[in-house]
Amino acid sequence: MSKTLLLKNAHLIATMDDQQREIAEGSILIRGNRIEAVGPVAQMPDTADQVIDMSGHILLPGLINTHHHMFQSLTRALPAAQDAELFDWLTALFPVWQNITPAMQRAATRTAMAELMLSGCTTAADHAYLYVNGTRLDDSVQAAQEMGMRFHAARGAMSLGQSQGGLPPDALVEQDEQAILREMQRVVEELHDASPDAMIRVALAPCSPFTVTTDLMREAASLARSYGVGLHTHTAENSKDLAFSKERYGMTPTEYTESVGWVGPDVWHAHCVHLDEPGIALFARTGTGVAHCPCSNMRLASGIAPIRKMRDAGVKVGLGVDGSASNDSNHLLDEARLAMLSARVRDQNPGAMTAREALYIATRGGAEVLGRDDVIGRIAPGYCADIIAFRTDDISMAGAQSDPLAALVFCTPPRVAHSFINGRQVIEDGQLLTREVPLIIEEHNRLAMELLQGR
């Protein structure tokens, strides 16, 4: 029989279940990798194979990151890209990224995941669209397995180089689209786990309308659906993105996505800053998801996505930290804070998003976007034991004890105190257990310097 774990005496459990229960002085019983019971301490068992006292902690479902480019952790705060909008930012970074190696890809993924995990993230989707010098999606998956994180590896691609009217240099793209499709098929067959509690899932993710052809978009969609895996790309991120779609395809970005079959419950789009009213209606009608990346959108001056309109229309919305060359951080709880604040600024309405809605988007919303809302994103019996805990006596929470759950979003976002992924403890008392953080940092900095020096 599977071992049991009791998380006992929590100050508050925010379940994110259908009733949005917040259980004061509660406990959670875990058997193996699944939650068996949750409720007030008086109604729960007193003993288990392992008991952890959670007095003075707030427990939530693990946060879910629906969009990232983990390799970009190698080029944070690069001077040439600090004050640029999206297209100029990419143009400054493409020549540097051309020198990324498999070792760099693995190191960057470990760094991104360590920072994410310390911010309370337990599941992350990584849009890996750059394949140079022998790098493969397998490098990212290897790092995820080492870190112990639940991982959605999105096999991206860029095939439309500058000579064909695209944005990236020809040297940086994979020009043989049939080879791209064969590699996409390989990673699905070798790496994807379709089981409900899978730790590794694969999605297919041609990068964007300005980096791949229409044929690749259509064929990738057909391939993904033949295997039952997800589809992911960038859509309507900034004004130049809109102009490119209209000039090259004669359509808005959302009209283009519909024309190539990129709508449906198996699809999620990153950014959608300039999703128009027909696009919002289309995504709501088809069950298409959105990865909201408020920090990156502000960092690159792309704008503020109409999240209130999307949510009111019924669009599935999750959070994404995006690449840390356009965010410079991998802190998912901070992303929830920025989602709340940016929604209020956009609508000039302090009621445009509450702290609890921001946390919902960061947990259950992300699960819905990734098609995992039947197993992750809430604390409820039968769900995977992806659970995080924050201390209520952190300096950031001082004076906020009247509503400590909201304080997680309103106040300085703290680091997580404890984290459990699939029933396994990966952070204890703020310390990562699966890898040594100083070693991650040392390796990452060394390889980042080699990258910048072109070695």
Of 192, 59, 149, give the one whose Cα is nearest residue 422: 149
pLDDT value for 455 = 63
Break the chain down into helix, strand, coil percent, rounded to 5: 40, 20, 40
Instruction: Read off the pLDDT of each residue in 336-360 and give the average, rounded to a whole number.
Output: 97
Residue 275 clears pLDDT 70, i.e. is over it? yes
Q: Can you tell me the distance from the alpha carbon of 398 to that of 388, in angstroms, rounded to the nearest whole number?
A: 20
- What's the topology of domain 63-370? TIM Barrel (3.20.20)
Q: Which helix (H) or strand (E) covers residue 16, if one does? A: none
In this prediction, residue 22 has a pLDDT band, given cuts at 50, 70 and 90, of very high
Residue 71 clears pLDDT 80, i.e. is over it? yes
Instruction: Read off the pLDDT of each residue in 279-294 and give the average, rounded to a whole number.
Output: 98
Residues of each domain in the chain carrying CATH 2.30.40.10: 4-62+375-432
Q: Can you tell me the distance from the alpha carbon of 382 to that of 324, in angstroms, rounded to the nearest whole number?
A: 34
| Average pLDDT of every residue of the chain | 96
Instruction: Answer whether 120's CB lies under 8 Å from 149's CB.
Output: no
In this prediction, residue 158 has a pLDDT band, given cuts at 50, 70 and 90, of very high
Of 267, 264, 266, 210, give the one whose Cα is nearest residue 237: 210
Of 166 and 345, the one with more pLDDT: 345
pLDDT value for 209 = 87
pLDDT, tens only, 353-366 = 999 999 999 999 99
Residue 281 clears pLDDT 80, i.e. is over it? yes
Instruction: Read off the pLDDT of each residue in 410-418 and give the average, rounded to a whole number.
Output: 96
Residue tagged 């709501």 (tokens): 284
Residue 141 clears pLDDT 70, i.e. is over it? yes
Instruction: Answer whether 200's CB lies under 8 Å from 191's CB.
Output: yes
pLDDT, tens only, 399-408 = 999 999 999 9
Residue 295 clears pLDDT 70, i.e. is over it? yes
% of the chain at pLDDT higher than 70: 100
Instruction: Answer whether 409's CB lies under 8 Å from 339's CB.
Output: no
In this prediction, residue 454 has a pLDDT band, given cuts at 50, 70 and 90, of confident
| 348 φ/ψ angles, rounded to the nearest 5 degrees | 50, 45
Residues of each domain in the chain carrying CATH 3.20.20.140: 63-370
- What's the topology of domain 4-62+375-432? Urease, subunit C; domain 1 (2.30.40)
Query: Cβ-count burial of 136 within 10 angstroms (0-12 exposed, 13-18 middle, 19+ buried)?
Result: middle
Would you give the DSSP letter of residue 378? Answer: S
The residue length of the chain stands at 455
